[in-house]
Amino acid sequence: MQSIYFKEEHNLLRDMVRRFVETEIKPHGDAWERDGMVPRETLRKMGELGLFGLRFPEKYGGSDMDVFAMIVLAEELGRSTFGGVSVTVMVHTAMSSPHLVYAGSEAQIRKYLPDILSGESICAIAVSEPAAGSDVGGIRTRAVRDGDDWVLNGSKMFISNGYYGDLYFVAAKTDLEAKGSRGISMFIVERDTPGFKIGRKLEKFGIHCSDTAELFFEDCRVPAENLLGEENKGFYAVMRNFQNERLSIGAMATSESATALDLTLEHLRNRQAFGGTMIEKQGIRQRLATSQCKLLAAQQLLYHAAWLDSAGKDAVAEISMVKAHCAETAQEVMYNCQQFHGGMGYIRDSPIERMVRDARLHAIGGGATEVMLEEVAKRWQ
């Protein structure tokens, strides 16, 4: 569907990413699912194409494009049918590394960003904990200043890119007396930092080629210059980048759903039953048409919220709506697509079966649907 939001530069980017998906991801995705990771070689190729710096300033090696470039990247990766690839890439380039550019000093940016853009250094955002997922204010990992270092103690859970990552943006409590979300700071932690340990690689319901891990900090000494941004202002940094995260999740959810509908329509046009093709059955056609209507509505909400954000307007409510509505729409669309594939939709490693599992994350990660709806409701009061 044509859109007023995309310009020629976005269309050229879309064509490039689509070619990459067809030649470099789809032929290998099944093997990556079994291996539980996206190869670093593939990520470096994406770095060479400039896909990891779309929204970063040109002076740092980025392309200085707008939020719709990020959406194009997320949409085209979503159409690969391998949700784990999408998550690996978007966590790196939209959910974690922006923290460096938003809040980092010139020295920090010059030190770390070149390898981030090239794909030599893969990033993770370490906020969630065993007892603090969507509730960022509930984190317990703490950091105490000791001379020229900060000493971190605590743990993180459900960290995407956590097992094979190189650079971690970690939220920790630096004002131990502050309540709730106050007193949180962000730190840059390198993989080989003493006292930093990567725990087990978590086995998940879906997105199998996205590595997820638990992290441990045991008297982990981080140089004072690795404080990212202002001390005790980390919560605001997390909240700011949540807008990127939630828009990218909305884009992944809607593009994956659109691809699932395409696969289902192709299947139904060929599937013979009860004296004709399945697509000729009125009830099936109408349920798919309803799914298509809801999907297009979700996409337009996504694009409108992205436009508001790019215009510098307060779009927290609208972006929270995007995260909730696009994620829940994906659940419904995927259910219908699997249903109309019949038994084949239940066979492990068929595209639809995998996509159904992968899409479940959208309603949980990056802020659960219920939390997003509370964000909307609070702004009505």
190 is catalytic: no
Q: How far apart are CA 228 and CA 100, in angstroms?
A: 7
Q: Coil, strand or helix: which one is 36?
A: coil
**Could you count the other beta carbons within 10 Å of the beta carbon of residue 378?**
11
Q: Report the candidate in 178, 185, 168, 187 with the shortest Cα–Cα distance to residue 235.
A: 185
Closest CA to 170 of 119, 210, 226: 226
Catalytic residue among 33, 214, 245, 328: 245
Q: How far is CA 111 from the centre of its chain?
A: 24
Structure tokens at 122: 């893969």
63-84 burial string, b = 16+ CB within 10 Å, else e? Answer: bebbbbbbbbbbbbbbbbbbbb
Element (H, E) at 187: strand 184-190
Residues 256 and 337: their CA atoms lie apart, in Å, by 11
Single-letter amino acid, residue 184: I
Task: Kindly tell me the burial class for residue 11, based on how many C-beta atoms sit within 10 Å of its own C-beta (0-12, 13-18, 19 or more).
Answer: exposed
Phi, psi of 150 (to 5 degrees): -105, 140
Catalytic residues: 245
